[in-house]
Amino acid sequence: MPRRPTLEFWYEFASTYSYLSAMRIEALAEAADVELRWRPFLLGPIFAAQGWTNSPFNLYPAKGRNMWRDLDREAARFGLPPVTRPNPFPQNSLSAVRVATYGADQDWLVPFSKAVFETSFAKGSSIAEPAAVGRILDSLGLDGTQILKAAASEANKSRLKVAGEEARSRGIYGAPSFLTGDGELFWGNDRLEQALAWAAGDRPDGLR
Amino acid sequence: MPRRPTLEFWYEFASTYSYLSAMRIEALAEAADVELRWRPFLLGPIFAAQGWTNSPFNLYPAKGRNMWRDLDREAARFGLPPVTRPNPFPQNSLSAVRVATYGADQDWLVPFSKAVFETSFAKGSSIAEPAAVGRILDSLGLDGTQILKAAASEANKSRLKVAGEEARSRGIYGAPSFLTGDGELFWGNDRLEQALAWAAGDRPDGLR
C-alpha cells in the first residue's frame, strides 16, 4: 500500500497568518488525503539573522496596519471569530513553542497548538507567561506543571534549537511555511491549498 | 443608471507580482463587472522611506529564492509563459513608469503596461533604458520618440511624484496594491479576487 503523502506545517504561535493556517489546515488536508506533520518553531532567531529585532508588521507600520485589516477580512472569509490583537504584539512565544516542541510526538500537540492560537487571536488572552501556557495545558486535561518543567529541560531546548536550524537550512524565512516530501517550500497561509495539492501530486504543467 | 464600481490597480513595472496581476486583472474585472483604473507608480521612494535601498527579494536571499520559485508556480497556475528573470533585478523602471504616467488618460496605457511587463518577465529583455521603452511604444504603433520626450517633461515628473505621495498617503507600501472606491486597501496579487469582490459589493459578513 503506498504511503499517504505528507506535508510539514511549520508554524509560530506569534504569527498571525500561522493562526489562520492552524485553524483550517486539518479539514483541507483531510480533503486532499495528505498527512500533516506539525512543526512548531521560533521565528525570532530567523528574523534576527535577517536584521529584524521586531515583527516586520511593527517595523513597517503601513504594512502592519494593512495586515491587521487583512487578518480581519481573512478570518471572516474563513468563518473564524473576529480577531483579537494580542497585546503586546508579537507575543513572546518561547514558553508555548517549547511545550509544542516537547509534545512533538504526543497526540495533544495539535489540540494544544490550536488552543494556544485561539487564546491569542480569538480570546485576546496572553500566551507569553509560562503560567498562561500551563493553564492551556490544564484546560486540555493535561498536567501543565509537569509538562512545563519537562519543556524547560536542556534536552528540549536543544531540540527547539535544532528545529530552528533545520528550518533555516531548508529555506524557511517566515511563518507559516509548508514543506512537501520532495522539498518544495510554500510560504504563507495564501499558499496552503497549493502546498497540499503539490504534496498530493497535483502540480502545474511544466513544473517538477 | 448606477455607476459601475471601480477598482484602482497600483502597479510597478519592476514588481514580479504586479506582472501576474497585470496579465490577469482585465478578465477578472470584466467577470466581476468592475471598472479598472490602472495606476502606475514608483516603489523605490516608498521602499527607501522604509529603509530599503534594494528589493526585499535581494535584501533577504531566502525570501528571494522562494519568490522566484513561487512566481514560476503561479505563472504556470495562471497559464502564463515561463517566467524570465530580468537581469539585473529589479529593473530600473523609471523611464517606463514615466511613460505610463504620461499615458494615464490614453487608450494605450493598458496595452503599453502589459507589453512592458511581458518584455521584462516573459521575453527576458531589458526595460531599463529609454530606448527599450521607446521600442515598446513603437511596436504598439505609437511615436516612441515623441512620447519619451513628453514623459521626461517637468510637468510629467511632478505628476509621477504626486502619484507616489498619493500612494503613500493612502497606505500603500508595496505592489501590486488595489484600492476600492470606499478606500479598502488590498496588497498583493493574492488579493486581486477579494479586492474585486469587495469593489463589487461582496464583503465578508460582519465587515464594512
Q: What is the average per-residue pLDDT within A175-191?
A: 97
Residue B3: pLDDT band (50, 70, 90) is: confident
Per-residue pLDDT at A47: 86
Q: Which of A66, A168, A188 sits opposite B185 (nearest CB)?
A: A66
A72: closest chain B residue by CA: B207
Q: What is the average per-residue pLDDT within A96-107?
A: 97
Contact B16, B45 (CB under 8 A): no
Residue A25: pLDDT band (50, 70, 90) is: very high
Per-residue pLDDT at B203: 87
Q: Is residue A15 over pLDDT 70?
A: yes
Interface list for chain B against chain A, based on CB atoms closer than 8 Å: 50, 60, 62-63, 65-66, 69-70, 72-73, 76-77, 82, 168, 171-174, 185-188, 190-191, 194, 204-207
Does the beta-carbon distance from A66 to B194 stay under 8 Å?
Answer: no
The overall average pLDDT reported for chain B is: 95
> A62 to chain B: which residues are within 8 Å by CB?
168, 171-173
Contact A137, A147 (CB under 8 A): yes
Q: Is residue B9 over pLDDT 90?
A: yes
Round the CA-based radius of gyration of chain A to a whole number and report it.
Answer: 17
CATH of the domain at A103: 3.40.30.10
In a domain, A205, yes or no: no
In a domain, A88, yes or no: yes
Q: Which of B17, B53, B57, B77 has the highest number of chain A CBs within 10 A, making it the mutation to test binding with A?
A: B77
In a domain, A115, yes or no: yes
Per-residue pLDDT at A204: 80
A46: closest chain B residue by CA: B62
Q: Is residue B101 over pLDDT 60?
A: yes
Residue B207: pLDDT band (50, 70, 90) is: confident
Enumerate residues 6+ apart whose C-beta is below 8 A from A52.
Answer: A59
In a domain, B208, yes or no: no
pLDDT tens-digit map of A121-136: 999 999 999 999 999 9
| Domain count of the fold of chain B | 1
Round the CA-based radius of gyration of chain B to a whole number and report it.
Answer: 17
Instruction: Find the domain containing B117 and state its range.
Output: 6-199
Q: Are strands A6-11 and A177-180 parallel, antiparallel or unpaired?
A: antiparallel
Residue A2: pLDDT band (50, 70, 90) is: low
In a domain, B1, yes or no: no
Cβ–Cβ contacts within 10 Å for residue A197, how many? 18
Q: Which of B166, B173, B192 has the highest number of chain A CBs within 10 A, making it the mutation to test binding with A?
A: B173
Q: Is residue B142 over pLDDT 60?
A: yes
Q: Is residue B2 over pLDDT 70?
A: no
pLDDT tens-digit map of A42-51: 999 998 888 8
What's the rounded Cα separation, in Å, for the pair B100 and B190? 24
Q: What is the ipTM of this complex?
A: 0.94
Number of alpha helices (DSSP H) and beta strands (DSSP E) in chain A: 10, 4
Cα dihedral across residues A74, A28, A39, B55: positive or negative: negative
In a domain, B207, yes or no: no
More confident residue, A89 or B207: A89
Q: Which of B60, B70, B186 sits opposite A173 (nearest CB)?
A: B60
Q: Is residue A97 over pLDDT 80?
A: yes
In a domain, A208, yes or no: no
Q: Which of B50, B63, B186 sits opposite A60 (nearest CB)?
A: B50
Per-residue pLDDT at A9: 98
Per-residue pLDDT at A128: 97
Residue B1: pLDDT band (50, 70, 90) is: low
Interface list for chain A against chain B, based on CB atoms closer than 8 Å: 50, 60, 62-63, 65-66, 69-70, 72-73, 76-77, 82, 168, 171-174, 185-188, 190-191, 194, 204-207
Per-residue pLDDT at A64: 96
pLDDT tens-digit map of B44-65: 999 888 888 888 898 889 999 9
H-type helices in B152-191, by residue range? 154-169
Tell me the three state secondary structure of residue A11. strand
Which three cell numbers, joined as nine digits, stand for B168? 503613500
- Gap between the terminal Cα atoms of chain A: 24
pLDDT tens-digit map of B106-134: 999 999 999 999 999 999 999 999 999 99
Which three cell numbers, joined as nine digits, stand for B193? 479576487
Q: Is residue B179 over pLDDT 90?
A: yes
Per-residue pLDDT at A118: 98
Q: What does A128-140 look like in DSSP terms, one character per residue?
A: -SHHHHHHHHHHT
In a domain, A24, yes or no: yes
Q: Which of B60, B66, B187 sits opposite A50 (nearest CB)?
A: B60
Enumerate residues 6+ apart whose C-beta is below 8 A from B43.
Answer: B12, B14, B15, B174, B175
Q: What is the average per-residue pLDDT within A90-107?
A: 97
Percent pLDDT > 90 in chain B is: 88
Strand-pair partners of B39: B10
Q: In what order do the strands lie in the sheet with A35-40?
A: A35-40, A6-11, A177-180, A185-187
